[in-house]
């Protein structure tokens, strides 16, 4: 299988996982910071639109990451996941406890999320898509034209939007509440105080249910802290990783 991914730096491996509407650009600043802190950072493009309809589910993405790391001869790694990426990280941590070192979650699905909720988004209505994209952020200006155009492109492709809806439904069905107490990895939870997609109480619940977890808040921040407040996000992340070394 041919993989599309970005790789930077040397050292312990941290795999970055984007969300359902996410892209490589989401982690632009984190991709610069982590290698400077001595980490090998790998960001694979998830095959969200390449899976067959019957295989468009969260577990298939977990299998994909497992195979991806195996093919790259990576035996242990940490996962930093936003939204659906966090959900994949949670399942990986449970399924392969010896493989996953640390877990870093931000706006993770797996408990509760306000998604498209199985509703077919209004295709062709650019303003509606713009509005929906803006809801992801505390500051609507963070929904740049480039970002809105990317989302607009997805919902206007019947093949893509069908897979987005299938994946969103799969994530909702795959609720992690019962499994969270079994997660053994040290877990860093970084949450936007103004997240409308996975509201603050979801971050609190992850913190309460995952035994070895710490919760950090970023104010004036929505569902994607690494885009909206990259400096604060990266500082929390690096400080937490450094604390684990002590």
Total domains in the fold of the chain? 1
pTM above 0.75, yes or no: yes
Q: How far, in Å, CA of 15 to CA of 41, rounded? A: 6
Q: Tokens 């040397």 belong to which residue?
A: 10
- Domain membership flag for residue 29: yes
- Domain membership flag for residue 97: yes
Quick one: tokens of 184?
A: 């053994």
Domain around 31: 5-112+175-245
Q: What is the CATH number of the domain that holds 240?
A: 3.40.50.1820
User: Across the chain, what does the average pLDDT equal?
Assistant: 92
- Domain membership flag for residue 140: no
> What is the pLDDT at residue 93?
98
β-sheet bridge partners, residue 235: none
Q: What is the pLDDT of residues 75-116, one digit of tens each?
A: 999 999 999 999 999 999 999 999 999 999 999 999 988 764
- Domain membership flag for residue 84: yes
Task: Give the strand pairing for 39-44 and 100-106.
Answer: unpaired
For residue 118, pLDDT beyond 50: no
- Domain membership flag for residue 229: yes
Give the residue, 101 or 156, on which the prediction is more confident: 101
- Domain membership flag for residue 162: no
Q: How far, in Å, CA of 130 to CA of 172, rounded? A: 24
Quick one: tokens of 121?
A: 């988004």
Q: Span 140-148, mean pLDDT?
A: 91
Q: What is the pLDDT of residues 31-66, one digit of tens each?
A: 999 999 999 999 999 999 888 888 999 999 999 999
- Domain membership flag for residue 117: no
Concatenated DSSP letters for 170-238? HHHHS--TTTGGG--SEEEEEEETT-SSS-HHHHHHHHHHSTTEEEEEESS--S-HHHHSHHHHHHHHH
Concatenated DSSP letters for the chain? ----EEEE-SSEEEEEE--TT--GGGGHHHHHHHHHTTEEEEEEPP-TTTS-GGG-SHHHHHHHHHHHHHHTT--SEEEEEETHHHHHHHHHHHH-TTTEEEEEEES--SS-----TTPPP-TT-HHHHHHHHHTTSSSGGGS-HHHHHHHHHHHT-HHHHHHHHHHHHHHHHS--TTTGGG--SEEEEEEETT-SSS-HHHHHHHHHHSTTEEEEEESS--S-HHHHSHHHHHHHHHHHHHHHH-
Q: How far, in Å, CA of 217 to CA of 110, rounded? A: 19
- Domain membership flag for residue 165: no
């Amino acid at each position: 299988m041919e993989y599309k991914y970005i790789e930077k730096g040397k050292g312990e491996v941290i795999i970055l996982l984007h969300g359902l509407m996410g892209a490589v650009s989401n982690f632009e600043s984190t991709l610069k910071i982590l290698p400077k802190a001595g980490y090998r950072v790998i960001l694979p493009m998830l095959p969200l639109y390449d899976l067959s309809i019957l295989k468009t589910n969260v577990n298939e993405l977990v299998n994909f990451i497992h195979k991806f790391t195996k093919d790259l001869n990576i035996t242990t790694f940490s996962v930093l996941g936003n939204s659906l990426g966090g959900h994949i990280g949670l399942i990986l941590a449970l399924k392969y406890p010896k493989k996953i070192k640390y877990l870093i979650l931000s706006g993770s699905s797996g408990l509760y999320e306000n998604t498209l909720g199985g509703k077919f988004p209004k295709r062709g209505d650019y303003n509606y898509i713009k509005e929906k994209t803006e809801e992801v952020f505390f500051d609507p200006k963070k929904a740049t034209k480039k970002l809105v155009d990317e989302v607009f492109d997805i919902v206007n492709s019947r093949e893509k939007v069908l897979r987005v809806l299938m994946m969103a439904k799969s994530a909702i069905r795959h609720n992690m509440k019962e499994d969270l107490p079994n997660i053994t990895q040290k877990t860093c939870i970084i949450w936007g105080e103004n997240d409308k997609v996975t509201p603050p109480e979801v971050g609190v619940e992850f913190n309460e249910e995952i035994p070895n977890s710490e919760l950090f808040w970023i104010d004036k921040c929505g569902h994607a802290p690494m885009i909206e407040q990259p400096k604060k996000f990266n500082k929390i992340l690096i400080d937490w990783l450094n604390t684990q070394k002590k």
